[in-house]
Amino acid sequence: MGKIILTGDRPTGRLHLGHYVGSLKRRVELQNSGEYDKVFIMIADAQALTDNADNPEKIRQNIIEVALDYLSCGLDASKSTIFIQSQVAELCELSFYYMNLVTVSRLQRNPTVKTEIQMRNFETSIPVGFFTYPISQASDITAFKATTVPAGEDQEPMVEQTREIVRKFNSVYGETLVEPEILLPENCVCQRLPGTDGKAKMSKSLGNCIYLSDTAEDVRKKVMSMYTDPGHIRIEDPGKIEGNTVFTYLDAFCRPEHFAEFLPDYASLDELKAHYQRGGLGDVKVKKFLNSILQQELEPIRARRKEFEQDIPGVYRMLKDGSDKARETAARTLAEVRRAMRIDYFDDRELIESQALKFKA
């Protein structure tokens, strides 16, 4: 059996640096590694609607933004199937059957859903669709027989839930579905890149994101106003590295060769950090260094985006082709699921014949 990737994002906004280091960059590497037989990348619009039911226009507008972000980072429709979740109706049917294999109390224990409920002040009015989205996510993963789900640690409970559903399904109905594994980011600073304000996470509502589609000037401004160490007032003051966002970003993006190119006075990040901690190194210098690194990383992404923006109808066509292809795969799995569950009545000659016999007797 081959190795298959499925992963995706909710189209609630443009993608930012947190998405990039946490998953996008890795996805492109995995796509190009040749180690996977198939790669499915899903724009999870149906999941996004589970907590945006009253704002479908937001989701509709952001589908193309996410698709452009994907393509500009190097996801390639000739190597990966890029598709839109809602266009694969088979996923809903799978969810409907999986719902019978999961208890309400099991869903209530999902830590990611718990925090999300708190963040959205949903405590007393949780939409059922939102509450059950881990089940729908199990459908996304199993429909494609994915072996590997590259995602951040917040997706771990979803993959675990999926594995439980697979085991339960296979034990009740016979070996049909594949148990997936999560593939976490390698570099642990990449697991959760803080916002530019130092808050735990980049989030659109906090306004602390650097978007992949930001202009060079936007990026520069955001870097120059980033949160550092509030106790580091004069250049000669000793500075803190922990919780200093500029250094956290350097941990995520800086490579040894960047020093020769942009900051030849230092040989390594450790040296730079030591100087900052000792005192005598100003924030502006470190921020300019980070800005150079980020601009170098983002420039080719911006340039590719500009190109794809010239052919929006082509991007939609790519998404339609991807969705059609994804649908074929999901339909094959659904047929197996129906057979395993013995609800394939009309394709089951034995059933029809034995019933005929029974009523003749």
What is the contact surface with ligand TRP in residues (CB under 6 A)? 6-10, 44, 47, 137, 140-141, 149, 151, 155
Q: What is the DSSP-derived secondary structure letter of residue 22?
A: I
- Minimum CB separation from ligand TRP for residue 342, in Å? 28
Q: Which is nearer to ligand TRP, 7 or 132 (CB)?
A: 7
CB nearer ligand TRP, residue 9 or residue 214: 9
* C-alpha distances in Å from residue 354, one per residue of 335, 341, 344, 350: 22, 18, 15, 6
- Which C-beta is closer to ligand TRP: that of 21 or that of 149? 149
Least distance between ligand TRP and beta carbon 39 (Å): 12
C-beta of 95: minimal distance to ligand TRP in Å? 11
In the bound state with ligand TRP, the residue whose beta carbon lies nearer, of 96 and 345, is: 96
Task: Provide, rounded to whole angstroms, the least separation between the CB of residue 163 and ligand TRP.
Answer: 13
Residue 3 and residue 148 in contact, taking contact as beta carbons nearer than 8 Å: yes
Give the contacts of 360 (CB within 8 A, at least 6 positions apart): none
Identify the burial level of 348 via C-beta atoms within 10 angstroms of its C-beta, where 0-12 means exposed, 13-18 middle and 19 or more buried: middle
Q: Which is nearer to ligand TRP, 155 or 323 (CB)?
A: 155
Query: Of the two residues 44 and 298, which places its CB atom closer to ligand TRP in the complex?
Result: 44
Collapsed DSSP state (helix, strand, coil) of residue 151: coil
Tokens of 40: 């499915």
Identity (one letter) of the amino acid at 138?
Answer: A
Shortest approach of ligand TRP to residue 241 CB, angstroms? 30
Positive or negative CA dihedral for 113, 119, 123, 128?
A: negative
Q: Are 223 and 294 a contacting pair, CB within 8 Å?
A: yes
**230: how many CB neighbours lie within 10 A of its CB?**
10
**Minimum CB separation from ligand TRP for residue 229, in Å?**
32
- What's the one-letter identity of residue 179? E
Beta carbon nearer to ligand TRP, 183 or 223? 183
Nearer to ligand TRP, 71 or 91 (CB): 91
User: In angstroms, what CA-CA distances link 96 with 7, 272, 338, 347?
Assistant: 21, 55, 12, 21
308: its two tokens: 């794809």
CB-count burial class (<10 Å; 0-12, 13-18, 19+) for 19: buried
In angstroms, the CA 262 to CA 205 distance is 33
Residue of this chain nearest to ligand TRP (CB atom): 44
Nearest distance in Å: CB 254, ligand TRP? 26
CB of 155 to ligand TRP, least distance (A): 6
